[in-house]
Amino acid sequence: MNEEKMTELALEYGFSCAKVAAVSELVFDPELRVYCEENTCGNYGRNYACPPDCGSQAEMKARTDKYSRALVLQTVQPVESVMDSAQTKTARKAHNLLSREFMDFLEKEGVVGLRVMAGPCSYCEQCARIKDEPCRFPDKLASCLSAYCIDAGAMAETCGMPYWCGNEEVPFFSIYFFGEV
């Protein structure tokens, strides 16, 4: 499937924006790992797709280095307030569900790649990491942009996508890495 078709289909699926960038255009900033360690999201050490279980920043970067292209997917969804965490959580869930469906479709079409989602892996209702049990679906595990230390603001600018949409719209990003190096 060519890249133009890929972005066209992503928009048909319901994404607000879709763009393919070169992986070399993305900014990987190891310093961003400190935000995971501060654990404001509460998932540090509680989700196999998040630090420290997901691996070091260098190990995460090595995973993306196997690919040359990045399909950046964005939804922008209405909320009463971006400060309402219940609403933004629901919007993030919808974004990740749409991303998963579209990435499943790409894989069925033979596009081999790496999934990067918004927020911690949410494939299970509650991650098995919390009870110190093994990951239930290792082939479905997907880490977020933060775990990869990807600068989302810089990525949005590169892709010509909005990063801040005001108090009543919340943007989320996911990425599908693909293409030979």
Indicate which single residue of 60, 103, 127, 145 sits in contact with ligand SF4 (rule: CB under 6 A): 127
Choose between 120 and 171: whose C-beta lies nearer to ligand SF4.
120
How many residues form the binding site for ligand SF4 (CB under 6 A)? 14
Strand order across the 113-117 sheet: 17-22, 69-78, 169-178, 113-117, 143-144
Check residue 123 for interaction with ligand SF4 (CB under 6 A).
yes
Backbone angles phi, psi at 176, to 5 degrees: -115, 110
Choose between 94 and 124: whose C-beta lies nearer to ligand SF4.
124
Indicate which single residue of 37, 140, 164, 168 sits in contact with ligand SF4 (rule: CB under 6 A): 140
The backbone region for 160, taken as left when phi is positive above 0, alpha when psi lies in -120 to 50, beta otherwise, is left
Instruction: Tell me which stretch binds ligand SF4 (CB under 6 A): 26-34, 68-76, 93-101, 133-141.
Output: 133-141
Residue that is written with structure tokens 């993305």 in the block: 26
Judged by CB under 6 A, the chain residues 48 through 77 that form the site for ligand SF4 are: 48-49
Residue that is written with structure tokens 């972005």 in the block: 7
Check residue 137 for interaction with ligand SF4 (CB under 6 A).
yes
Residues with Cβ within 8 Å of residue 5, at least 6 apart in sequence: none
Backbone angles phi, psi at 7, to 5 degrees: -70, -35
Instruction: Tell me which stretch binds ligand SF4 (CB under 6 A): 21-29, 33-41, 42-50, 148-156.
Output: 42-50
Indicate which single residue of 27, 82, 124, 154 sits in contact with ligand SF4 (rule: CB under 6 A): 124
Check residue 121 for interaction with ligand SF4 (CB under 6 A).
yes
Residue that is written with structure tokens 């603001």 in the block: 153
Report in angstroms how near the CB of residue 56 gets to ligand SF4 at its nearest. Answer: 17
Q: What b/e string do you get for 69-105 counting C-beta neighbours within 10 Å, with b at 16 or more? A: bbbbbbbbbebeebeeeebbeebbeebbebbbebbee
Choose between 7 and 143: whose C-beta lies nearer to ligand SF4.
143
Residues of this chain that bind ligand SF4 (CB under 6 A) = 47-49, 121, 123-124, 127-129, 135-137, 140-141
